[in-house]
Amino acid sequence: MSKKIVFYGSFSGNMLKSLNSKCPEGFETCQVPAGGDLSALASADYMVNRGGAVDSSVMDAAPRLKWIQKWGVGYDKIDIKAAGERGIPVGICVGGNSMPVAELAVTLMLDVLRNVVPLNAKMKEGEWVREQYSARSYLLHGKTVGLIGIGNIARKVASIVRSGFDAQVLYYDVFRLSEEQERSLGVVYADLDTLMAQADIVSIHVPLLESTAGMIDRSKLSLMKPTACIINTSRGGIINEADLIEVLREGKILGAGLDTYAQEPLSRDSELLKLDCVVATPHCGGNTVDNDINMAAICMDCIARYDASGSREMREIVNREFLK
């Protein structure tokens, strides 16, 4: 009898094609859109989740569920405690989307510093405005980049900006690296306030947790240089958006590059979209054709390894403390 893997949430055609191509032998698959008919979950042994909330009601509809695999690394929409209480490990794709997200973070830095989006808009309107934005354009080369969080994505950002742009890199994390790791990565530890004050670019790379929600508010933003910008490819709730909008309107900082928002999808009426100094993308940091293949392989490998071993020591598990 085949085991069933349900793709729960929002998946592109390319993602589904990649997942099915990597499906282990002896498994069958189906897709259930988030908020759709949950009856198909009744026979699910495994779940790959992307974009849809997985709460108690979803888990209760899947009494056979053995493992929840997150497409990506952000698991804030999965009730990991409820899963643990039901004996269901929740796994993430460790390092799976680190390079594409790091690339987008650096792209947003360049877009904000060089005013690429407003200049492109002016060109398409038939306007040649070389000088209009030159007074607020800056190099990335030689600047100080401050990383909030020093996980896989942040480490790749550090590598790119150091090797490609000769940047100095500060980092803040609740878990400080060893001196040897800091030397190897070429990064310098700073407390959060110091990082906010000294960095020319602040880039956020921490998960959304109770301890990080709203951690970047007006008090932190007010420490930044007027020529500095902030980048967020992590989770929107880490920045207090109302405070960010105020600071940007007042010209207290140069700009912001955002891929994530407190509420998604972002309302078309959002004040963020009315600001020239904001570059906005639709939470697509990990979405590339080639990386979808990589992510699908990681998801299916995690499921196959857990199915074979039942091990709760797999490094991908994020709710080990709640497992019963």
CATH number at residue 145: 3.40.50.720
Residues 36 and 119 in one domain: no
Residues 139 and 262 in one domain: yes
Residues 159 and 91 in one domain: no
Q: Which two tokens stand for residue 116?
A: 């690429």
Looking at residue 2, its pLDDT comes to 83
Residues 245 and 151 in one domain: yes
Looking at residue 1, its pLDDT comes to 67
Residues 133 and 264 in one domain: yes
Residues 150 and 173 in one domain: yes
Tens of each residue's pLDDT in the chain, 324 residues: 689 999 999 999 999 999 999 999 999 999 999 888 899 899 999 999 998 899 999 999 999 999 999 999 989 999 999 999 999 999 999 988 999 999 999 999 999 999 999 999 999 999 999 888 888 999 999 999 999 999 999 999 999 999 999 999 999 999 999 999 999 999 999 999 999 999 999 999 999 999 999 999 999 999 999 999 999 999 999 999 999 999 999 999 999 999 999 999 999 999 999 999 999 999 999 989 999 999 999 999 999 999 999 999 999 999 999 998
Q: Which two tokens stand for residue 114?
A: 């060089």
Residues involved in catalysis: 235, 264, 283
Residues 107 and 87 in one domain: no
Residues 10 and 125 in one domain: no
Looking at residue 242, its pLDDT comes to 97
Residues 299 and 151 in one domain: no
Quote the number of domains for the chain. Answer: 2
Q: Quote the domain boundaries for residue 165.
A: 98-280
Residues 172 and 298 in one domain: no
H-only helix segments in the chain: 13-21, 56-60, 80-85, 98-113, 116-124, 152-165, 179-185, 192-198, 218-221, 241-249, 289-309
**Secondary structure in 3-state letters for 129-166:** CCCCCHHHCCCCCCCEEEEECCCHHHHHHHHHHHHHHC
Residues 116 and 246 in one domain: yes
Residues 166 and 86 in one domain: no
9 — alpha (psi -120 to 50), left (phi > 0) or beta? Answer: left
Contacts of 198 (CB under 8 A, 6+ apart): 144, 146, 170, 190
185/156 Cα distance (integer angstroms): 9
CB 323 within 8 A of CB 82: no
CB 230 within 8 A of CB 239: yes
Contacts of 180 (CB under 8 A, 6+ apart): none
